[in-house]
Structure 1
Amino acid sequence: MGFDLAIIGSGGAAFAAAIAARREGRSVVMIERGTVGGTCVNTGCVPSKALLAAAEARHVALSADRFPGVRACADEVAFAELIAGKAELVAGMRQDKYAGLAAEYGWDIVTGQARFVDGPALEVGLADDETRRIEAGHYLVATGAVPWTPPVDGLGEVGHLTSATAMELDTLPESMLVVGGNYVGLEQAQLFSRLGVRVDVVEMEDRLAPAEEPEISEALARVFADEGIGVHPGTVLVRVHREGGQVIAELRNPGGRTRRLRAGELLMATGRRPFTEGLGLDAVGARTGERGEVVVDEHLRTGNPRIWAAGDVTGHPQFVYVAGAHGAVVVDNAFHHAGRTLDYHHLPRVTFTSPQAAAAGLTDAEAQAMGHDCECRVLPLEHVPRAQVNRDTRGLVKLVAERHTGRLLGAHVLADGAGEVIATAVYALQHRMTVHEMGELWCPYLTMAEALKLAAQTFTRDVAKLSCCAA
C-alpha cells in the first residue's frame, strides 16, 4: 500500500487523526478539495466568535451606563476593517494550526476532489485535469458538513446568506431577516444587531433555542427583545421575492395567518448537512443515511472494514471537540483494534450569545422520558453575587436531579461565561455527584461558577436568606 492512512478532508477530525498517526510513525496523505482547515477555523468557530467578541465590545460601550457614573460611546462600525481583521486572524490560525502543522509532522496535503474506486482506492481529480490514484491501508472520510436550507418558494431567485457568507459581507445591511432560532441563527442575529443592523429572527418551533430548557428559551427571547431584535417563534418562511432591492418574506404563524417582513438581507441559518457528494462511497460498500451522513458503527467504521468516518460527516454531534476525539479514536481502532467508543451522555454545548447558553447532561423532559423521577430547581441570576456586581442579572441556572438520590442529571446555564461554568458541571455529572455534594463543595466567591453551588443549595434551603458570602 502507498500510505498507511489516506484522509479526505482537512478539518478538526482529519488533523486529529493525521497527528495521531504520524506520532506513531505511520505514513499519511490528506486530500482537500477547498481551503485547508475545515469549517471551524475558516467559516465557523474562529471567525464567528471573533466577530461576536467585536460586537460585544461595542455593546459594552453602548450599555456602560448600567454602572452609575460611567459614560461611553461607540461610533458606527468600520465594517470593512472589521472583516479584514477577522480574515487576517483566520489566515494566521490556518497557517499556524493547520498547514504549518502538516509540514511539521510531515504529511502531504493534495488539492483535489477525491472519490472512491475499486480497491478500495482513491481517484483524485487535480487542478490540471489530471487524476492521481492513491492507495492506503485505511481511509478516513472527514469531509464535514455544509449549510442546509429547506425548500422555500422563491429562495433560489432572491439569493440568501449563510452563516459563512454573512461573515464575508463588504458592508453592513440596514436590516436582516434571520431564519432559524437555534445556536447559529441566534449568534448571528445578535452579532449583526449589536453592529447596528435591524434584525428579526424567525423560528418554526414554538420557542427560540428549542433544544434548551424552556426557561432558558424564554429568558433568551426577553434578552433579544430588550436589545431590539424582533423574535418570531412558531413561524414558517413560506415564500420570498425581491422588491426594490429588498427581500420580501411571507411568513405564516401556527394559526395559519400570514404576514410580510421586509429586510435588506436574508440569512438562512436552518442547519447543516453532512457533505458526501461525489465521494463514491456506495461503490466500496460504505453507506450513507437519510441526511447524507456516512453510516458508521460504534467504532466509527463504515461497512467497508478499511474505511472510517469522523466528525460532522457522521451525523454525530456537530462540535469540533467531538470531531477531534473522533480522529484519535479512528487511529486507535484502525491500527490497534482498540475497540474504542465515545460516550456523549455528558457532552457540553454552548451558544455564544450574550449572555451565553450552555448545557450538559439531560433536560427535564429527556430525564422524564428515560424514566427518571426528577426534581428541578431554577435559580435566577439575581441571587448570584457575581451577576449583581456586574449589574447584569439576565439569566438563570437550572439543575435537573434524581429525586430519591439527589444525583445530578443535567445542568443548564444562561449567564455571562456560561461556557466556563458548564465545564464544572461536566465533572459533577461524570462523577455522579449529588446536588447536596455540589452545594457543600468549595467555590471561590464572586465567580459565575458559584451559581452552580447556589443552585444546588436551593434543593435544601432558601438562598435568598443567605448572606452574600455565606456557604
Structure 2
Amino acid sequence: MTVRMRLAVAGMTCESCNRHVAGALRVAGAADVEADWRRGEATLTVDDGADLDRMAAAVRDAGYTPGEVTRLDPVSPDRDGGGSDVDYDLLVLGGGSAAFAAAITARDAGRAVALVESGVLGGTCVNVGCVPSKALLAAGEAAWQAARHRFDGVPHATGPVDVAALVAAKDELVGQLRQAKYADLVDAYGFEVIAGRGRFVDPATVEVAGRRIRAGAFLIATGASPAAPPVPGLAEAGYLTSTTALELKETPRRLAVLGANAVGLELGQYFLHLGAEVSFVEVADRIAPFEEPEVSAALAEVLVEQGARVLTGARVRTVARRGEVRVLDVEVDGETVEVAAEELLVATGRSPNTAGLGLAAAGVAVDERGAVAVDAGLRTSNPRVWAAGDVTGAAQLVYVSAYHGALAAGNALLGADRRVDYTGLPRVIFTAPQVAGAGLTEAQARAAGHEVKVAVLPASEVPRALVARETHGLVKLVADADSDRLLGASVLGAGAGDVIQSAVLAIRHGITTAELAATFHPYLTMAEGLKLAALSFTRDVTTLSCCAA
C-alpha cells in the first residue's frame, strides 16, 4: 500500500531547486514527487512504512533543510476496500474540459468515475466556444486578406462570402473534434456518462432523473453561460450571444457589439471582415480593458482603420427595436449617441451555471457572483465536494478548466494536496492582429508591490513585421526593477498567441530580462520581438545590426 506525504523543505529559491529536491527524493525511493519552492514543500508517494529518515537525509544531502512530514490521506473511500456504500469514487457534474480532465486523472488511478451531463459532451470550448469561433475567425480573416494586398505586384480579388458554407464547415469540424476528443474517450478510459441534470439532495447524494447516487467525492464542473446586463429594453429587442452569433448564415448589414473584451472583439471583427458595419460599445475607458493600455490603443487604431466604429466610456441607457433595427441610446462623455444596427451582439461576460444544482442542500457556498467558492485546492465548503473550471469564477480559459479538473481529482482521490498556481498564465485574443499576454500587467505588478521597469517595442522594430508588411503592433515587457526578473509580457501582432509561450516559460521559471535577451531567437520571426524588447532595457535597439546583441 502506498501513501501520499508532504515534506516541508527550507532553502529552495527557484525552479532549479525544485528539480534538485525532486531528484533527490526519487533516488531515495519516492514516486510522483512534486517540489514547490514557493510553498517550501514537496509532496511524494511512498510505500506505507517507508523510511522517512532516508527521505529527509536525501534532501539534506542535496543542500536543503527537511522539516515536518505530514501524511495526506485521500478523502474518497476505496470502493474495493470493503464496507463502502458509494456508487462511484468520483461523480462529476458536467461534461466539458474540466470534467474530462478529472475523469481521466481518476481512471488513471484506477478509480470508478461517472459524469452527469444533460446536453452534448464537450462543454463550451469544442461546441460553442474556442473551436467554432476560431474556425470562423480564420475564415473571416482569409476573406479580408483576399480583398486587400500588402505587397506591390500581388493582385487581390473581392466577392461575396458564402457564410452558410462557413458555418456548415465549422459544424463539421466541431462534430469531428467532439467525437474524437470527448465521446470516444468515454469507452477508451472506461468511465460512465449519465444523461440528465444532477442536483444535490444532501451533502453526499446527487439525484439524476430520479436515481440517487452516492460518491466518495463530487466535482462540480458545470461551466458558465453568456450573461446580459440589465439594460432597459434589451430583452424585448432581442440580441445575439457568443453562442447564437456563430450560427448566423448571412452577414448583417450593421452589427452593434456591446462589450469589447475578448469575445466581443473577436466576433465583432469576424463580421467586420465579412463586410458588416460594426460598432463596438464598451463601458470601460478603452477596449480590451484588461490588457496593457498600449495594446488597447494600438488595437483600437487597427479596428478603426478596418472600418469599425469604437465607442469607449459608453453606457447603454436603453435599447429599442424599430422594425428589424435595434437602436441603442448610448451616453458618451455626457452626450447621447444613437447606434442603430440590424443585429446586436451582447458580449459582456458569462455567469456560472449553478442554478438548480441544489448547492444549499449540499452545504456548498457560492460567492457574490454566484460562483462556487473554493479554496486553493479547489475544495468547497463541503469537504466531500470540489469544483473546477468556469463555475468557480476563475479565468474562463479551457486550459485553466482542464488544469483545474486534473488538480481537483488528484486532491479528492489521491490526497495530492496541490494548490492552483497561475504564475505566467497566458491569454490570447484572436483578433487580427492577435493580442497575447502572460503574467502581470504593469498596473498589476505595481499593485502587487513591485518596483517595476518596462520596455515597449513597436512592431516596426521587428524585422519579421517589416518583411510581412504588418507593422501594427508592439511588445511590452514588465520586469522587477531590483531583480530584473520578468513579471509580465504582452504582444500585439501576427502569431502573438504562439510568441507568448516563450514569455510564459520565462515568467514561470523566474528568468531575468538579461537572460531572455541572451537567449537565441530565430531571425525574421515574431518571437525575435521578445529578445529585442528585452535588449531595449539596456540599449537602443534601433542602432543595432541584424541579430546583434
Shorter-chain TM-score: which interval? over 0.9
**Over aligned residues, Cα RMSD in angstroms?**
1.1
1:340 to 418, 423, 448: 418
Per-residue Cα deviation, 1:43-63 (whole angstroms, up to 9, x for no partner): 100000000010111122122
Of 167-176 and 201-210, deviating more is 167-176
Note if 1:306 corresponds to 2:384. yes
1:122 paired residue number = 206
Bigger Rg over Cα: 2
Q: Decide which of 335, 360, 369 is 1:282's aligned counterpart.
A: 360
> What letter matches 2:169 in structure 1?
G
SS at match of 2:115: strand
- What are the within-5 Å matches in structure 2 for residues 44-443 of structure 1? 44-64=129-149, 66-118=150-202, 120-125=204-209, 131-253=210-332, 255-443=333-521
C-alpha distance in structure 2 between counterparts of 1:29 and 1:275, whole Å: 19
Q: CA deviation at 1:74?
A: 3.3
- Deviations along 1:311-367, one digit per CA (max 9) or x if unpaired, are 010111111111111111112111121110111131111111111111111111111
- Against the structure 1 CA distance between its residues 247 and 306, is the aligned structure 2 distance closer, same or farther, given a 3 Å change threshold? same
Shift of 1:119: 5.2
Per mean C-alpha deviation after superposition, the further-off stretch among 111-120 and 188-197 is 111-120
Offset of 1:236 from its aligned partner? 1.1
CA distance in 2, matches of 1:468, 1:118: 67
Structure 1 residue runs of 5 or longer lacking an equivalent are: 126-130
CA distance in 2, matches of 1:318, 1:75: 37
Residue 10 (1) aligns with residue 88 (2)? no
State whether structure 2 residue 522 is matched by structure 1 residue 444: yes
Q: How far off is 1:294 after superposition? A: 0.5
- 2 CA distance for matches of 1:365 and 1:105? 45
Which residue in 1 is equivalent to 2:106?
21
SS at match of 1:135: strand
Shift of 1:402: 1.8
Deviation at 1:427, TM superposition (A): 1.1
> The residue matched to 1:398 in structure 2 has which SS?
strand
Residue 434 of structure 1: CA displacement?
Answer: 1.6
SS of 1:163's equivalent? coil
Q: Percent identity?
A: 54
Q: Secondary structure at the match of 1:92?
A: helix
Query: Any conservation in 1 of the 2:101–2:405 contact (CA below 8 Å)?
Result: yes
What amino acid does structure 1 have at the position aligned with 2:243? A
2:28 aligned partner: none
Cα deviation digits, residues 189-227 of structure 1 (max 9, x gap)? 111100111111000000001111110000000000000
Correspondence 1:41 to 2:126 = yes
**In the TM superposition, what is the alpha-carbon distance from 1:170 to its structure 2 partner?**
2.8
Helix, strand or coil for the counterpart of 2:249? coil
User: Which secondary structure state, in structure 1, belongs to the residue aligned with residue 229 of structure 2?
Assistant: coil
Shift of 1:468: 2.7
**TM-score (normalised: structure 1):** 0.97
Amino acid at match of 1:196: G
The 10-residue stretch of structure 1 (115-124 or 266-275) with the greater mean CA deviation from structure 2: 115-124
Q: Figure out how many residues of one structure are paired with residues of the other and give that number.
A: 464
- 1:128 maps to which residue? none
Query: Partners of 1:466 and 1:119 in 2: how far apart?
Result: 66
How far off is 1:292 after superposition? 1.0
Structure 2 gaps of 5+ residues are 1-85
Q: Which whole-Å deviations, capped at 9, do the CAs of 1:126-154 have from their partners, x for residues lacking one?
A: xxxxx222221111100001111110100
Inter-partner Cα distance in structure 2 for 1:104 and 1:427? 32
Distance in 2 between residues matched to 1:111 and 1:336, nearest whole Å:
27
Normalised to the residue count of structure 2, the TM-score between the two structures is 0.83
In the alignment, the residues of structure 1 paired with residue 442 and residue 412 of structure 2 have an alpha-carbon distance, to the nearest angstrom, of 38
Structure 1 residues 372-412: Cα deviation after superposition (integer angstroms, max 9, x where no partner): 21111110000100100101100000111122332211111
SS at 2:177 equivalent: helix
Q: Once structures 1 and 2 are overlaid, which stretch shifts more, 8-17 or 28-37?
A: 28-37
- Cα distance in structure 2, aligned partners of 1:403 and 1:295: 35
Q: Is the 8 A contact 2:89 2:413 kept in 1?
A: no
Give the distance between the partners of 1:230 and 1:399, measured in 2 at CA. 29
Task: Provide the C-alpha distance between the structure 2 equivalents of 1:384 and 1:142, rounded to a whole number of angstroms.
Answer: 43
Structure 1: which amino acid aligns with 2:235?
G
